[in-house]
Structure 1
Amino acid sequence: MSGSPDGLPPLREVIAEHGLAAKKALGQNFLLDLNLTRRIARAAGPLEGVEVLEVGPGPGGLTRALLIEGAARVLAVERDPRCLPALAQITAAHDGRLEVIEGDALEAGAEARMRGPWRIVSNLPYYVGTELLVRWLEAEAWPPGWDSLTLMFQREVADRIVAGPGSKTWGRLSVLAQWRCDARIAFEVPASAFTPPPKVTSAVVLLRPLAEPRFPAPAAALRRVTAAAFGQRRKMLRQSLKQATPDALGLCARAGVAETLRADDVDLAGFCALARAL
């Protein structure tokens, strides 16, 4: 008999039973410790009555934790068909509260299938994590449908999300995250917690959407100015912003931002002013 709260076998046995060696090409690193995955689930806040969208569940370590912690429904998007039989076992053990979509999270349209209130909780595959976060943060409609994002990233990416201006980690991800959300690192996860262990430490990041962005700015314009400025972050704005507009000097003047600054030294208010001026 299993000692797991859901009566399912330990994840190591599930992985062995289904031959689920992690695939590097899919950015897979499996979390096997149910105590740790339950800690991640609890970081998302009380889950009773809440629906959860999970991207890249793999064999279902975090999925099981979300269901054990009381999620009303988990919609999981999994690209690797090898994982589907293991996930089907979880669906059966949890009275159908798990629904699985086979496909790429960038194309699956899973968000449209969520019914409020809902949250996104994921140990994101490395190859797609940042791209998905940017998409969630740049949505035209705000506030978004989700209540919070509880996401696992490489520690380097987590540091960029919460960085402040003037630091080497301040970048486009910092601006986008802090423009519309409160963002903080909940806790670190050592490489040894994963199978296979990655070469870096990871961290769980919690993002909660603000009712209104901290400063007004059109999302598309903010995307353009941050991409231009941080794309050539060692250059002054009068040069780097030419990627966004031929009149970089005029843009800085209209925004009231010094043309001699580099991207590292422009704060959130400054980037939003540049976006409005653009």
Structure 2
Amino acid sequence: MPFLSRTQLIKLFQSSKFIPESIKGQNYIADYALCRKIGNCAKGSEQYKCILEIGPGFGAFTDFLFPLSEKVCVVEKDPKSSQYLMDYYKSRIPTQVINSREIQYLGYVPLKTQLTIVEDDFFSLPTPDAELIISNIPFTHVFEFILKLTESWNSRRALLILQKEVMDHILARPNQSGYTILSVICGFFFDSQILLEIPSKSFYPKPKVSSLLIELLPNKNLNLELISKEERKNFLVFLKTVMQFKEKHLQNTFLLIQAQNPLFFENFPHFKDALRELNLNRSVLREMTPAAIFHLMQKSRKKMNDLRANCEPIGS
């Protein structure tokens, strides 16, 4: 299998004159027992039609995915890593390599063989349809990754390796110090749980902090299919502005946005009316549940009568 031990990784990096940088999140799994545990966590009640692995590096646990799925798609932007995977797999299983030009022409990632290797930046691609998403996310891209995942979500579950401090934000609830945009997004759209604690010694180079393997599932109190991609995107745009002022009374938040970002009201023209109708002028966002903030976003876009006619009830 393509798994590389710590010693093998060091030799590979030396021969290619590549110096991985922890500060950029370039930490590679070098723990075979951990890879086996992740493979066990990835097992579903039945075989997946497709698994999407984002940032496989040198394929530490890619081999564990093939018994679980009809097809595996890996997205890797580093040419050394993707070339390593190509060289290893092309003589073993049906493999295709897709370039960004073909994807741009088609508008999607074609999954024709057992393994599809895409050498490109995940953030520049349409997200391939996959029932399971798995990724060891560089900490520098966690927020951007969660946003893209939320906007394009069409999966049964996701398994993500994150730094522990990121999970603290994901699990934070109203009135807790770590309550951020990430808390609201994950609290509204997903149910999350910790599956494994991962010591820093499992990686090379060794990061300064420990990590977690977490699972994201669609919120069981929310029918995510009823929320269009456009509506999800609207919520993310809304949060990026209003959560800057999460400690302020919302009537003051309105005034601050009016002064600093008047274009906000082109997308959310009824924000001020929504505050009045929901009696939220003296409320602060850090005290509000994700569902309440989403409802405020909806009312900020639509008049009350339109909202009642067009929106399904949202679970809290």
Shift of 1:228: 2.7
Match of 1:252 among 275, 285, 305: 275
Asked if 1:209 corresponds to 2:212, the answer is no
Give ranges in structure 1 of 5+ residues lacking alignment. 1-5
TM-score normalised over the length of structure 2: 0.72
Give the equivalent residue in structure 1 for 2:157.
Answer: 148
- Equivalent in the alignment of 1:65: 64
Residue number among 225, 229, 235 corresponding to 1:222 in the alignment:
235
Aligned counterpart in structure 2 of residue 15 of structure 1, from 6, 9, 14: 9
SS of the equivalent of 2:162 reads: strand
Q: Retained in 1: the 8 A contact 2:55–2:75?
A: yes
CA gap 1:248/1:267 in 2 versus in 1, 3 angstroms: same
Rg larger in structure: 2
Q: Against the structure 1 CA distance between its residues 215 and 77, is the aligned structure 2 distance closer, same or farther, given a 3 Å change threshold? A: closer
Opposite residue 11 of structure 1, the aligned amino acid is S
Moved over 6 A (4+): 214-217
Matched, 1:168 2:191: no
Does the 8 Å CA contact 1:225/1:271 hold for their aligned counterparts?
no
Equivalent residue letter for 1:22: P
Q: Does 1:182 align with 2:191?
A: yes
Aligned with 2:188: secondary structure? helix
* 1:56 matched residue in structure 2: 55
**Aligned partners of 2:47, 2:233: CA distance in 1, in Å?**
36
User: Is 1:102 aligned with 2:119?
Assistant: yes
For residues 214 and 183 of structure 1, the distance between their equivalents in structure 2, rounded to whole angstroms, comes to 18
| % same residue | 23
Question: Which deviates further from its counterpart, 47-56 or 147-156?
Answer: 47-56
Contact 1:30 1:58 (8 Å CA) reproduced: yes
Residue 252 of structure 2 is matched in structure 1 by: 239
Task: Kindly state the Cα deviation for residue 231 of structure 1 after the two structures are TM-superposed.
Answer: 1.0
Unaligned runs of 5+ in 2: 95-113, 258-263, 301-316
Q: Is the 8 A contact 2:22 2:207 kept in 1?
A: no
Give the structure-1-normalised TM-score: 0.81
For the aligned residues, what is the CA RMSD? Answer: 2.8
Which residue of structure 2 aligns with residue 263 of structure 1? 285
Query: 1:95/1:130 Cα in 2 relative to 1: closer, same or farther (>3 Å)?
Result: same
Give the whole-Å Cα distance in 2 for the aligned partners of 1:227 and 1:61.
35
CA distance in structure 1 between the partners assigned to 2:224 and 2:43 by the alignment: 23
Contact 1:257-1:270 at 8 Å conserved across structures = no
Task: Write the letter of the residue equivalent to 2:291.
Answer: A
